[in-house]
Amino acid sequence: MNPFYRQASFLLSASHIGQAPPDQGHEVAFVGRSNAGKSSALNAICDQKALARTSKTPGRTQLLNFFALDGERRLVDLPGYGYAKVAESVKRDWQNNMGEFLAQRGCLRGIILVMDIRNPLKPFDGQMLDWTGQQGLACHILLTKADKLRQKAAQAQAQRLQTQLQGHSAQPSVQPFSGLKKQGVEQVHALLDDWLGRDARAQDPGQTRTR
């Protein structure tokens, strides 16, 4: 486990982009359907049990939640979409706030899109991929709950999705992931090191965004 991510700490929650930390440094945002295991994935990546809020009731992440890694680097847990049993007006507010954040946040270096490996690429996921491609954001797909499948089946599912998305404007990479088994955590750490500018061999993180 990379100790850099273990030091993650809650910074603040924002109901809209105007309450976000100053738009400087480097951020990576986690986004996905409300029942895809996004908060659990964040906890596993940071080797903490309760860094991000988890619940048996999907849709509990209703704010933009910022976690500091150091003075310049942050992870962001964005509101889940597509499932939560809340009022339509609340869903619209969540999605509008998320859209503004992704469109306007200049320090954003990439998106980690979380999908349940058993039911990947639902309509909202496809819309998010399309939007990410249009914005020129780097994108990586975590196929969570991989422990629910045999290893070969999980790898095959990831390969099928990678093939399906070949040529997509977002050019996403794909991997199986299990927060329960800590499967795939090191791969995510390597990706984050690149995007957050922690690897001297990586490209300038400011160049991962084309616009």
Least confident of 26-30, 75-79, 190-194: 75-79
Residue 79: predicted pLDDT? 83
Q: Give 21: exposed, middle or buried? Use CB within 10 Å, 0-12, 13-18, 19+.
A: middle
Confidence tier at 109 by pLDDT (50, 70, 90)? very high
Residue 96: predicted pLDDT? 75
The predicted-structure confidence for 129-184, as pLDDT tens digits, reads as follows 988 998 899 999 999 999 999 999 999 999 999 999 999 999 999 999 999 999 99
Q: Above 90 in pLDDT, residue 29?
A: yes
Residue 61: predicted pLDDT? 57
pTM greater than 0.85 (yes/no): yes
Q: CA-to-CA distance for 56 and 32, rounded, in angstroms?
A: 16
Q: What is the extent of the structural domain holding 93?
A: 3-207
- CATH classification at residue 129: 3.40.50.300
Q: CA-to-CA distance for 93 and 106, rounded, in angstroms?
A: 21
Residue 85: predicted pLDDT? 62
Confidence tier at 80 by pLDDT (50, 70, 90)? confident
Cα torsion 43, 112, 57, 181 to 10°: value is -40
Q: How far apart are the first and last CA of the chain?
A: 34
Q: Which of 28-37, 84-93, 129-138, 178-187 has the highest mean pLDDT?
A: 178-187
Handedness of CA 151, 154, 158, 163 (dihedral sign): positive
Q: Give 210: exposed, middle or buried? Use CB within 10 Å, 0-12, 13-18, 19+.
A: exposed
How many domains in the chain?
A: 1
16 sits in which H/E element:
none
Q: Above 60 in pLDDT, residue 207?
A: no
